[in-house]
Amino acid sequence: MSKTVVITGTSRGIGRALAENYIARGWNVIATARTVDALATLNAHQKLALDVSSEESIKTFATALGNTPVHLLINNAGIGGADSLGTLTQGELVRFQITNAAGPLLVTQALLHNLKIAAASNLDKNPVVVVNISSQLGSIKDVDVFGATEIGGSFAYPASKTALNYYSKALSYALKNDAISVIPMCPGHVETDMGGVGAPLKVHESVAGITENIERALVDKELTMSGVYINYANQKLSC
């Protein structure tokens, strides 16, 4: 029986490539995007609307899933952009938190029922996996690495990923007894609309690494990977 993966933000970029990759691997892919029209050319098992910044949309999406077991949830959808001191606004700071941090947390909460059904049906006791696509820019320790650059000087985007890393760690403890592994993962600097032209990694390189990490996590019965912040190349990052 094919396993089921839910991926957010599959209209373009890394999310789109992840969806194509899991379709090619024979998974039941539930592809989501803000508008289903954006998924017209994707050959997914199911295509559903999901705006991760809207509680209403998350609720409607979870209702549409019903009792479908979900073995893998990839919280990929996110917004990017740089800002700088002097032009910060409360609205923008909150908008990033809502989409990049609260979004993945609330989607995970809404799909707990489906994740638990999948975990209970794994007779081999393998875990189900939630991947939160984060960013190394969210690492407080690595502020020193990026500090002098334009993106390092940003506030809203990195802090939203810092919050996502915290939520991921907290979720890893909350869900340990349910055999649900939660992994915050940086995809690397990838050539997408967000990553920009000339970024060092092609989308397929990042997706290959993310997929290898997920393969390991899906058979990690002891949940040793849960709550551990890694990048696409399986290098440990520091929150």
CA-to-CA distance for 5 and 130, rounded, in angstroms?
A: 10
Which residue, 126 or 155, has its beta carbon nearer to ligand NDP?
155
Q: Which residue is nearest to ligand NDP (CB)?
A: 13
* Smallest distance from ligand NDP to CB 124, Å: 30
Residue 130, beta-bridge partner list: 73, 182
- The contact set with ligand NDP (CB under 6 A) reads 8-9, 11-15, 33-34, 38, 50-53, 76-80, 99, 133, 135, 186-187, 189-190, 192-195, 199
Is 73:29 a contact under the CB 8 Å cutoff? no
Which residue, 76 or 119, has its beta carbon nearer to ligand NDP?
76
Phi/psi at 6 (nearest 5 deg)? Answer: -105, 130
* Smallest distance from ligand NDP to CB 150, Å: 14
- Burial classification of residue 42, based on how many CB atoms lie within 10 Å of its CB (0-12 exposed, 13-18 middle, 19 or more buried): middle
* Smallest distance from ligand NDP to CB 77, Å: 3
SS3 174: helix
Is 76:16 a contact under the CB 8 Å cutoff? no
Which residue, 71 or 161, has its beta carbon nearer to ligand NDP?
161
Which residue, 135 or 165, has its beta carbon nearer to ligand NDP?
135
* Smallest distance from ligand NDP to CB 121, Å: 28
